[in-house]
A and B are shown apart, each in its own frame.
Chain A
Amino acid sequence: MSEGQRDPLERELETLGPLMRDQDAFAAMEPDPEFVRTLRARLTGAPAPRRAVAARPRKHPLRRWMMAAGGLATLAAAAVVLLLLLGRSSTPSTHQVAFRVPTPDRNAVLRAYPVVGLGGGSSPPWSSNLDVPPGIPFAGSIHFPGVGPSRGPSSAPAFALQGPHFDVPRLRSLARALGIRGPVRYRSFNGDRFAYVVNQSSPSAAHSLAISLVTGKLIYHDTRSTGSGSAFARVTPAAIAAARRWIARLGWPASNPVFHPVSPNEQDAGSFAVQFGWTGAIPADLPAAVIVMNAAGRVIDAQLYPPVARRQSVSVRSAAVAWQQVRRGRVPLAVLGLPPQPTQVGRGVLRHTSVLALLTSGQHGRLYLVPAYHFSGDATFASGRQRWYAIIPAAR
């Protein structure tokens, strides 16, 4: 049957089908009740309702992935951001509607803590190998007899990330640019919903691109082959440049500094990861982008969060007050070089106080970078001297 002879109803269903699908999906998403109440009060001139502040648990699944022990040290190193940096990073626009800064939950904090005993595994398009699960805090305790930090700043920057509108509309063109050809499909997974494309020409091997419709996080897999050759037998500036070109090609900001120097992936000696920090934000607990490449220089795995959209200053409690929480044992501690168990008691010294940003889910799964104090130093245990750190949300 030619196009002109086709049933008009069928043609209309084909045209409007995707819109009906989206209507069906989005109709179930109720607006934030606080937004509805506040707007109503504004429109009718009634007194504004009291604002409820509630942390929303992070929705994301936390995939199993081996974090190299060396990565812990680099994490701590990356967290050392002097307070002097506050307010001086290149900033996104501040001339936008203020956003509600969410409170990081325990899992958001513990993602910056040591992780042990993780495994990889095959990954469907909507599941990232590069998500970092919450770590395990030290089960022992540290006594801090010395003096604490000074009061510190009264405010710190928080950042709202772009939502899924940043990349979801481009899913098809992004997939095409990466050589992935197939229909756009949808899948719900662990409270998130993904649009994804899998290459149909290689159904037995995963070559896929998925974007979260909730957060905008992009997940890329290419396991068609492990590749060969020695383009980047070891980490080189050329490898970093190649990773930078890859994310720039997809439309992500690529001028940001490398988060970690490239670290080899211990799961597969033939691959390595390049991690990029956040453009327009202070250093964070997690990289903005992780690009895993094989020895031939081909990207085989990637995870990219949407870029920073907005920045605003938030009032923070003093560093001295936050430090008291650490001293009293009310904040999880990380001790490098010691297993979390069994318990040990040490005597510690605070060496550095800095502020870093914690990646945190806000209302409706939208992602934010919110400020947290990062205290670090060394401690003496019966087994020797070790480095420790503690992270505590800073916003009041």
Chain B
Amino acid sequence: MYPEADPALIQRARLDRSAFGEIYDLYVRRIYAFCLTHTRDRDEAEDVTAQTFERALNAIGRYEERGVPLSSWLLQIAARLMINQGKQASRITLLGSDPVPEPEGNHSSDDDPQVVVERWERAEWLRSRIAALPSDQRRAVQLRYWQGFSIPEVAAQVGRNEGATRQLLHRAMTSLRARIGNHDV
């Protein structure tokens, strides 16, 4: 879905800071979007993005792929930074999926950078599949699952009756399953 740095570039980046600059160019917007989504604050997102790449620059000599793409490694650095900063600030860190979490929620999985990144990547992947749906199906899915609308609310938004809306969503889910293919759900 997103380009990954090839192993030769990663190898060069261990010795050459200009090669690290190419890696930075490849990932900076993605890391920033990850940070911004979780912090909802541009200044904080910039701070975490900068710290992520500074740490990556110091640690890239120790990076070994072992099935973990460089993007996941960078995202985990960012997630760890945000989790730690959230703890230090004693406030809710938006590492969940909902922008408005309960004030005293269960943060056990949100405290694990790997879980946070896996959820992020899975959501990105599903999003790309939803984006490929026909527009009416895509809109219905987005209203139903992204916005949390009820069937009557979706029906009102798409201008159909409830029965037709259920059928539309059923077709969308069938189509989505076909696009997901063999990937586990």
The answer to whether A40 touches B25 (Cβ under 8 A) is: yes
- Measured between beta carbons, the chain B residues less than 8 angstroms from A168 are 40, 99-100
Interface of A is mostly: helix
Distance, CA A16 to CA B50, complexed state (A): 27
Stretch of B4-12, B66-74, B120-128 with 4 or more beta carbons under 8 angstroms from chain A: B120-128
The answer to whether B50 touches A170 (Cβ under 8 A) is: no
The answer to whether A18 touches B36 (Cβ under 8 A) is: no
Please tell me if B59 contacts chain A, counting CB pairs below 8 Å: no
Which positions 3-53 of chain B face chain A at CB distance < 8 Å? Answer: 17-18, 20-21, 24-25, 28-29, 32-33, 36-37, 39-47, 49-50, 53
Q: A13-B126, A16-B126 known; A99 and B119 CB under 8 Å?
A: no
Partner pick for B146 among A18, A42, A43, A46, CB 8 A cutoff: A18
Interface of B is mostly: helix
Which positions 137-176 of chain B face chain A at CB distance < 8 Å? Answer: 141-142, 144-149, 173, 176
The answer to whether B46 touches A31 (Cβ under 8 A) is: yes
**Once A and B bind, how many residue pairs between them come within 8 Å at the CB atom?**
156
Closest 6 CB pairs of A and B: A19-B97, A17-B145, A21-B146, A163-B41, A44-B21, A13-B145
Q: Can you list 9 A-B pairs, Cβ within 8 angstroms, ordered by A?
A: A20-B127, A23-B37, A23-B120, A31-B46, A43-B24, A160-B43, A165-B39, A168-B99, A169-B101
Since A39-B49, A169-B99 are in contact, a sample of 17 more A-B pairs with Cβ atoms closer than 8 Å, ordered by chain A residue number, is A9-B173, A12-B122, A13-B126, A13-B145, A17-B147, A19-B119, A21-B142, A29-B33, A35-B50, A39-B28, A40-B24, A42-B50, A43-B20, A44-B20, A172-B100, A173-B102, A186-B147
**B residues engaging A (CB < 8 A)?**
17-18, 20-21, 24-25, 28-29, 32-33, 36-37, 39-47, 49-50, 53-54, 57, 91-92, 94, 96-103, 119-120, 122-124, 126-127, 130, 141-142, 144-149, 173, 176-177, 180, 185
